[in-house]
Amino acid sequence: MRVIITGLLAGIAAAGLSAPANAQQSGQESGGQDLSNPDSAFVDTTEKKAWQAEITPTERGFLIGNPDAGTRLTEFISYTCSHCASFAKESGATMDLVLVSPGKLGVEVRPHIRNWLDLTVSLLVQCGDPSGYKDRHRLFLYSQDEWMTRALQAPRSQQADWARASADARLNAARALDLDDMLANRGMDRPDINACLADDEAAKKLVEDTEANRIDYNITGTPSFALDDKLLADIHSWQSLRPVLAERYDPSASAR
């Protein structure tokens, strides 16, 4: 990891509870939801927050969900890691529905740079409005087989050029592997995409953040996970993470 890090561096809200002003009229329209009316149904009519669509940039990644959730899961992922792609596909819908959407769990994703292609894709994932981060994150993980195959089939001389990880190398790789097209086809402007790929400061920060995470959490492989800032030892898949989360949110756990 230290060799890769050195080489790359050288180359580059909770919902509101206030009552409506016309409370009496509102109560009549909803069947008399009034403390003075013993027959009130007290149906919850407050607007629900779609936490699974809430994205907040963090110091080393992006947080999906409620920033004030009681529990935070930190994912350390590599976009070129097949196990990371499998985790994303297997866990996404379940965690969204059961934990993230209700605001119980905040999920912070931190990219773990292992190689030049990780760096290029990570720059594209964080490119653009933060509100679209989750879609870009899943887009590249869900289609990993396609663009990884193109990269592996490229001539070795071309791969060697891309491995320099300079701004020109990243731009060239993104064009040759159609990585930039994946965002352009979703409406992003090509000048903006190119600017993200050419951003040496952003590339340097991704590599430095990876090293900081490795030191702070002793990350040895991907995907890895931390729950409330504590690394989960030997947990590297949805199959092994799911029971940990199930136990955390087991209603009977507090009674044990």
Tens place of pLDDT for every residue, the chain, 256 residues?
554 555 555 554 233 323 334 434 444 444 455 556 666 666 655 556 789 999 999 999 999 999 999 999 999 999 999 999 999 999 999 999 999 999 999 999 999 999 999 999 999 999 999 999 999 999 999 999 999 999 999 999 999 999 999 999 999 999 999 999 999 999 999 999 999 999 999 999 999 999 999 999 999 999 999 999 999 999 999 999 999 999 998 765 444 4
Is the CB of residue 43 less than 8 Å from the CB of residue 83? no
Whether residue 8 contacts residue 165, with contact meaning beta carbons closer than 8 Å, is answered with: yes
pTM for the model stands at 0.81
- Hunting for tokens 């097209």 — which residue is that? 181
C-alpha to C-alpha distances, 179 to 92, 109, 112, 144, 232, nearest whole angstrom: 22, 20, 19, 11, 32
CA 53/CA 35 separation, integer angstroms: 35
SS3 of 226-245? EECCEECCCCCCHHHHHHHH
- Both tokens of 221, joined, read 């492989």
Residue 108 contacts residue 58 (beta carbons within 8 Å): yes
| Nearest 10 degrees: Cα torsion 177, 178, 179, 184 | 170
Q: How far is CA 246 from the centre of its chain?
A: 21
Query: Hey, where are the domains in the chain?
Result: 55-244
Q: Which fold has domain 55-244?
A: Glutaredoxin (3.40.30)
Of 110, 115, 179, give the one whose Cα is nearest residue 144: 179
Residue 5 DSSP symbol: H
